[in-house]
Chains A and B, each alone.
With several copies, the nearest count.
Chain A
Amino acid sequence: MDVEIRIQDTPLQPWSEMPPVHAGRPSVGGVVSFVGLMRDSNQGDAVAGMTLEHYPGMTEKALAQIVDEAGQRWQLEAVRVIHRVGELAPQDPIVLVAVASAHRGEAFQACEFIMDYLKTRAPFWKRERTAAGDARWVDARHSDDAAAAAWENGPES
């Protein structure tokens, strides 16, 4: 399994990052990707901007562990995780998770698994500025905890 993990404070151009996930890998039958984008509203308020903070060093370790766990659960050819930090505007890509596998089912499962775990285990924090001028830390969502917990005992493929 070929793995690349990157944290960057420059704009993420997700579709330019995709070819290396499958190019030159003739046994890859399917590539599943997730791109998370900054929305222009949250909890009913218009959002003007966002700052993404992280825990340098731990972030990379946590992501590597999550990807490694995915590689133990499913047969994967390549995984790429890229996450933005710093200042973002609405519609900016926040994260890319791309998974290549021989079979589509494994690629789908692994990609969603990585996202669900990233959402609960990777040390990133969002602070958003509303259009009204308030700044606030985004609260963690129970639905994210539930999504990650479902993998603990759920079917694996």
Chain B
Amino acid sequence: MIQVLYFASLRERLGRGDETLDQHPDTLAALRAQLAARGGAWHEVFAGDLRVLAAVNQEMAGEDGAIADGDEIGFFPPVTGG
């Protein structure tokens, strides 16, 4: 089981801020592919031209980031604070 969070414009596009997945793949790349396969806005966000950053357990992570049971995964657009 993993917790997946969506922030800012992603949350708006996807229409949700978080969800729990009972089944999950082992890497961020595979998780993105799994989410994109839902189609519609999910495909646009995770298989389109958008730059979507990811964090595993609140640490920035690349495509090969490993996912383990109990992890918190965050997806979000490039940051614009400061």
Contact = CB atoms under 8 A, between A and B. Distances in A.
Taking the complex as a whole, does A directly touch B, i.e. does some CB pair lie under 8 Å apart?
Answer: yes
Interface of A: 36, 52-55, 57-58, 61-62, 83, 94-95, 115, 118-127, 137-141
Contacts of A58: 55, 58-59, 74
Nearest to A7: B81
Interface in B24-79: 51, 55, 58-60, 74, 76-79
Interface residues of B, number: 17
A94 B80 CA distance: 11
Contacts of B7: 53, 55, 123, 125
B60 A125 contact: no
Interface of B: 5, 7-9, 51, 55, 58-60, 74, 76-82
Contact of B59 (A61, A122, A138): A61
Nearest to B51: A140
B46 to A, nearest CB: 18
A140 B81 contact: no
Contact of B81 (A125, A137, A139): A125
Contacts of B81: 52, 54, 83, 94-95, 118-119, 122-126
B54 to A, nearest CB: 11
Given A57-B58, A137-B8, A125 B82 contact: no
Given A55-B58, A137-B8, A124 B74 contact: no
A120 B79 contact: yes
Nearest to B53: A123
